[in-house]
Structure 1
Amino acid sequence: MSTERLRPLRAEDLPLVRAWRNHPAVRQHMFTTHEITADEHAQWFQRQQADATRRLYLFERDGVPQGFMHLSGVQPGGVCEWGFYAAPDAPRGTGRAMGAATLAELFEVEQVHKIRGQVLQGNQASLRFHEALGFQPEGVLPQPYVGADGQRQDVHCYGLQAEAWRATRAG
């Protein structure tokens, strides 16, 4: 049986996470699609560390890093947002396992009220991922984002409240 866990991201993890983030398969679905430099990544990490409502996690299976989770606005009773990606070579199902672990962390430990996610229109896997985890569509922002190809894209908004998550776990 495999062991899965979220653990706080550490400075020594930054080269690995940046390599994942800069991989074309990951980068194509990001809101910023340029290649991140080491200096830019280090500065981003420092800014995140200064915000008490941010959480950065590495998802590991059997001690092997397989994904990254970024959370903002985390506070008891609050509404937070998440962003994430699996390692480009992660086994199938990693995203769902990472998502499930993060939902448990946010709703059981951090005691947030709601989690929100935003997905670019062309990212069908992420749209299905949110729905599979119980997120509800909350609307579409029409074409606020220009993708790497220069085309405008809609952004799909999803939300999941603690009560709904608990109800699906109980059922």
Structure 2
Amino acid sequence: MSDLFTTNIRKMTQADLETVLTWRNHKEVRRFMFTKHEISEVEHNRWFDRISADPRRHLLIYQVHDKALGFVNIHEIAAGGIADWGFYTAPDAPRGTGNALGHAVLRYAFQILNLHKLCGQAIAFNERSIRLHMKLGFLKEGVLQHQHFDGQNYHDVWCFGLLAESWHNEHLKEY
């Protein structure tokens, strides 16, 4: 993509499967996921084949200077441009990568995909994700009490939302 705003975001390809699986199975990434089991290569490949065939799904790689540093999944869940997102960075990504990834994804979501709203969720103990959502301008829209059971304990899930209009208004202040 040649657009200035998407230079750090590209579509995930089969060539990325091994890297993304390695990141996803890393203990520091996996501990914040809703599904915590180690994913097999077969399961991962089936997931990719199924999800990448769905036009409402956008599997993306965040990269800097041709080095992949993060994965993003945007899922258009309702008519009118309402989508959920999920993401993680490479376990060895430099400090600040999550913030940069977030800004790049918001540009992509609101300027390329023309979404109306982007929604996110974070398990309550994932303080870094919660802080990142707030820093990016998401509003906390609610808490789903005891929504996630990790096999031993129940955890609250925080729900976030960011409207394109709010993002555009904030983005214009930067210029």
Question: TM-score range, shorter-chain basis?
Answer: over 0.9
> How far off is 1:115 after superposition?
0.2
Do structure 1's residue 50 and structure 2's residue 79 form an aligned pair? no
Q: Is the 8 A contact 1:76 1:112 kept in 2?
A: no
Unaligned runs of 5+ in 2: 1-5
Counterpart amino acid of 2:96? Answer: G
Do structure 1's residue 155 and structure 2's residue 157 form an aligned pair? yes
The residue that corresponds to 2:143 in the other structure is 140
The residue that corresponds to 2:8 in the other structure is 5
Counterpart amino acid of 1:67? Answer: G
- CA deviations over 1:118-142 (Å, ceiling 9, x no partner): 0000000000000000000000001
Counterpart amino acid of 2:121? Answer: Q
Q: Is the 8 A contact 1:53 1:75 kept in 2?
A: no
Out of 3, 15, 30, which is 2:18 matched to? 15
Aligned identity (percent) is: 42
Secondary structure of the structure 2 residue equivalent to 1:30:
coil
The residue that corresponds to 2:133 in the other structure is 130
Structure 1 stretch displaced more, 15-24 or 69-78: 69-78
Unaligned runs of 5+ in 1: none
Secondary structure of the structure 1 residue equivalent to 2:94:
coil
Q: Is the 8 A contact 1:4 1:62 kept in 2?
A: no
Alpha-carbon separation, structure 2, partners of 1:58 and 1:74: 20
Secondary structure of the structure 1 residue equivalent to 2:42:
helix
- CA deviations over 1:127-164 (Å, ceiling 9, x no partner): 0000000000000001111125x110000000000010
Please give the root-mean-square deviation of Cα atoms over the aligned residues, in Å.
1.5
> How far off is 1:169 after superposition?
1.0
Q: Spell out the pairing of 1:1-171 with structure 2 (5 A cutoff).
A: 5-73=8-76, 77-147=80-150, 150-171=152-173
> How far off is 1:4 after superposition?
5.4
Quick one: structure 1 residues 76 and 143, their matched pair in 2 at CA, closer, same or farther if it must change by over 3 Å? closer
Alpha-carbon separation, structure 1, partners of 2:25 and 2:78: 30
Secondary structure of the structure 2 residue equivalent to 1:35:
coil
Q: Is the 8 A contact 1:75 1:111 kept in 2?
A: no
Report the count of equivalent residues: 168
Q: Is the 8 A contact 1:77 1:111 kept in 2?
A: no
> How far off is 1:77 after superposition?
3.5
Q: Is the 8 A contact 1:59 1:68 kept in 2?
A: yes
Q: Is the 8 A contact 1:54 1:71 kept in 2?
A: yes
